[in-house]
Amino acid sequence: MRILIVEDDAQLATSLAKTVESAGWLAETCGDGGEAAFLGATENYDAAVVDLGLPVQDGVSVIRHWREQGREFPILILTARNRWSDKLAGFSSGADDYLTKPFQLEEVTLRLAALLRRVRGHGDTVLRVGPLEFDTVTSRFLLDGAPLSLTAQEHRILAYLMHHAGEIVSRTDIAEHVYARDLEPDSNTVDVLIGRIRRKLGKPLIHTERGLGFRLAAGED
């Protein structure tokens, strides 16, 4: 899952990125509202964390711009502003959640996990596909009840497939949601990683849809 962090405090942005990546997601940071407005409107993100007090363009304007451009990814506002008028402006612009400073870094990932579940229509914190389970709170996989060991890239791909279980996901979709915008994987990189995940699963859960991509589903040959 690819998360955009819009925060002009460089130290906080770095801490947020590390926390997000420790949850198994890909984090990209941006320090001003102008760049953020462009990135959110042109890149494929699964969620965004946005400060309101940004240089160039304020956070409310950034969020409103994204929504006007048809971008539907969930947005968590992260700000020191705690007045009701600020919260009203944030939610009215299209934000999905609001967290005021100071806060625990881990709360950001918990709220993001909840938003990501909600947007995919998942009520339970644990996603299941046959014998495979993914705890969205701890970001851990279990296979037949035992921990599943994955590399960072394998984890991101499998987590993305779990959130889109039953759907056909193209190689381009996977690449755009697990790699940073300045990295372009080789054409067969995704296939190689999918192959590694399949071997670790040892079960026919990831199915190739010829010419389309992959689908994670249980109970099929």
Share above pLDDT 90 across residues of the chain, in percent, rounded to a whole number: 69
Residue 188: how many other CB atoms lie within 10 Å: 10
CA–CA distance, 98 with 84 (Å, rounded to integer): 11
CA–CA distance, 157 with 193 (Å, rounded to integer): 8
User: Which of 92, 119, 146 is the endpoint of a domain?
Assistant: 119
pLDDT in tens, 169-204: 998 888 888 877 666 666 688 899 999 999 999 989
**β-sheet bridge partners, residue 165:** none
Indicate the number of domains in the chain: 2
Tell me if 221 is assigned to some domain.
no
Give the residue numbers spanning the domain of 185: 126-216
**pLDDT at site 183:** 61
User: Which of 84, 119, 154 is the endpoint of a domain?
Assistant: 119
pLDDT at 6 exceeding the cut of 80: yes
pLDDT in tens, 52-101: 999 999 999 999 999 999 999 999 999 888 888 888 999 999 999 999 98
CATH assignment of the domain containing 198: 1.10.10.10
Share above pLDDT 70 across residues of the chain, in percent, rounded to a whole number: 95
SS3 content of the chain, % helix, strand, coil (to 5): 40, 20, 40
User: Which of 86, 119, 152 is the endpoint of a domain?
Assistant: 119
Contact 102, 78 (CB under 8 A): no
Tokens of 193: 């990683």
What is the reported pTM? 0.80
Sign of the torsion angle spanned by Cα atoms 186, 190, 199, 1: positive
